[in-house]
Each structure stands twice: as structure tokens, then as C-alpha cells.
Copies of this chain bind each other. A is one copy, B any other.
Amino acid sequence: MSEIEFEKELKAERTNIPGMLVFDLPVHGDSRGWFKENWQRAKQTDLGLPDLGPVQNNISFNAERGVTRGIHAEPWDKYISVATGSVFGAWVDLRPGKSFGEVYTCVIDPSKAIYVPRGVGNSFQALEDGTAYTYLVNAHWSAELKKTYTFVNLADPELGIEWPIPLSECELSEADKHHPMLKDAIPMAPRRT
């Protein structure tokens, strides 16, 4: 397992994708392992995180280095981190407008968390065997809602994502191998109000 930096100061940073935030999280190490507030509503809303109101906590376990999932834009906001291991994350703005197609990438280890607003495509590649990826969302998933997702292909050269492990060597779901390229992707419909 790679080294985690302990005792960072809680901090939020913006990215080139409007509304997306990258957090440094304090992780407290001791002889037992470590402890973190993975999400702390009061301190993080003070730093600009929208008040999530989570209704689901999802966890994916990625057995081997290289497992790659995405790129999925779903009709809810996501707050993402890892419980153990690390991932290379890649995000693509799929909202209609002038930031459509904007890409952001970074590594998430337990001392980082990412807020991904609705309509931004989410994907990641596990950098370690046994990586547990955990996130909170503010709407309930259902199989029927899949019709309202927007997908983009992980391998689209137009995105220019430099995956640490070549996708040809990676474990992907069948669905994720066949998503459209960005030029054919359907921008996510705005939130109904």
C-alpha cells in the first residue's frame, strides 16, 4: 500500500470543471491504523461543499489493480473517496454549455475526496489490489433510471485521459467497453425543477 500523508489540513480546491471540488482530508494515524472523518457536513459546507443530504452510501470493491469503471454521468451529485487503496480518477463535464467536454484527473487516496456535481461524468482506475471506493449520493438509484444516464467511452482519444494502466490490460464491464465517444454523447438533461 502506498503511503498516506497524515494530518493534512481540511481544504477545498476548485477545478476547471465548474462546481467540482477536491478536498484534502485530515487522516489521523496511530498504532492501530488510522481514522478519518470521510465526510463532515458542518466543516465542509463552510468550505463550499453543497449540503449533500445523502440518501445512499455506495461502495465498490476493486479486486485488482487496473479495474476501471466509467464514464458515467448520473442524475445526482456524488461525494467520493476511498476507504483503502487508491484510484486514478477522471471526470468529464457532460452538462450542456461551454464547459462540455472539460476533463479533470487526479489520484484519490484516503486523504482526498471529490465532489462531483450532477451531469459530470465519473470514472476511475484502481491503482492497488483491493481498493475500496466509497461515495455518497443524494438521490436513490434504480435500474430504470439508467435510461437517464449519460455515458462516454473511457478510451475516447478526444478526452486525452492518460490512464496509468493501459485500458487493454484492465478489467472493465461489458457495458463500459461500448459507450459512445464524446462527439456522440448526449449532454445530460438539466435537472427538472
Contacts and interface: CB of A to CB of B under 8 A. Distances in A.
Contacts of A144: none
A110 B61 contact: yes
Nearest to A60: B35
Interface of A: 1, 30-42, 54-64, 67, 69, 83-84, 110, 130, 132, 134, 136, 140-141, 171-173
5 contacts: A32-B67, A33-B61, A37-B56, A40-B141, A134-B134
A57 B171 contact: no
Contacts of A132: 83-84, 132
How many chain copies does the complex carry? 2
Nearest to A67: B32
Q: Which of A30, A32, A58, A67 has the most CB of B within 10 A?
A: A32
B33 A59 contact: no
B37 A141 contact: yes
Contact of A61 (B37, B83, B130, B173): B83
Contact of A41 (B41, B56, B64, B84): B56
Given A42-B140, A134-B38, A140-B41, A57 B57 contact: yes
Given A1-B130, A32-B67, A35-B60, 4 more contacts: A32-B60, A32-B62, A41-B140, A84-B84
Contact of A55 (B32, B42, B69): B42
Contacts of A83: 59, 61, 83-84, 132, 134
